[in-house]
Amino acid sequence: MLYLIGLGLGDAKDITVKGLEVIKQCSRVYLEAYTSILTVGKEALEEFYGKELILADRETVEQEADTILKGAHQCDVAFLVVGDPFGATTHSDLVLRAVKLGVPYRVIHNASILNAVGCCGLQLYNFGEVVSVVFWTDMWKPESFYDKIAKNRRNGMHTLCLLDIKVKEQSLENLMKGKKIYEPPRYMSVNQAAEQLLAIVQNRRLQGEEPEIAENTVCVGLARVGAVDQKIASGTLQEMTTAALGDPLHSLIITGTLHPLELDMLKLFAVDKSIFEHMAE
């Protein structure tokens, strides 16, 4: 059996009782190590679970999935995912490969950022399409995520922005030379995401558009959701460029139409409460 097990969002103890029981019975346990991170390292998980973990990077999961599934007809294999197992499409691909090989599978769910964002007080049923904000480079500055946010805003919906993670990435130079030298991990901050969004807003104005998002659009920055040092800051998009949220992982919400109850909740986390008092008038 292949087990896909969600680890939750905080630390080793966020695993469900069911998930922990399954891990203890498995012959091999893989830890997916590129779509998200916990606030603790691999060693802390191994100590709590009482099992050695095999790190599975993007290359392993996408190109060597058969290695993970090898022998899963005769023994139990666990694949651990931060959050919930189906937060990334790669994991659906692993399930499809298992089915093709005749390996039965079972999913053990857990909390993910997709539902845990409710901690800021915004109603989950008021969210539209989730978007990913990628790191820009000097040569590549896509704006497609802005268009999805704008569409959500026109429909009065909030947008959860999942911010880019770069783990075990190669520089263009090393990639071209075939050198397996990897760049240090990078995790996008709310500040960086807000700066990129403001750059797009300015570009759209230069093109004669009236952007759906502006400097004073109400946003929410979240960091390390589910951990003991979780941090939330609400304020304008401009304020998000300087909000001090600390270590990764970060997420950013661009709000749509705000219900009075949502406004009251956002005041609890306000960088400047006067913004929300003005909106309530």
**Residues of the binding site:** 9, 84, 87, 112-113, 163, 225, 250
CA-to-CA distance for 238 and 223, rounded, in angstroms?
Answer: 18
CA-to-CA distance for 92 and 110, rounded, in angstroms?
Answer: 16
Q: How far is CA 197 from CA 111, 117, 149, 174, 235, in A?
A: 28, 20, 10, 30, 15
Q: How far is CA 93 from CA 63, 98, 269, in A?
A: 11, 9, 39
Binding site for S-adenosyl-L-methionine: what residues are annotated? 9, 84, 87, 112-113, 163, 225, 250
In 10 A of CB 119, how many CB atoms?
15
CA-to-CA distance for 45 and 37, rounded, in angstroms?
Answer: 12
- Contacts of residue 87, defined as CB under 8 A and 6 or more positions apart, other chains included, come to 35, 36, 81, 112, 113, 114
> 83: helix, coil or strand?
strand
37: enclosing H helix or E strand:
none
CB contact at 8 A, 126 and 96: no
CA-to-CA distance for 148 and 132, rounded, in angstroms?
Answer: 10
2: enclosing H helix or E strand:
strand 2-6
What are residue 127's DSSP bridge partners?
A: 158
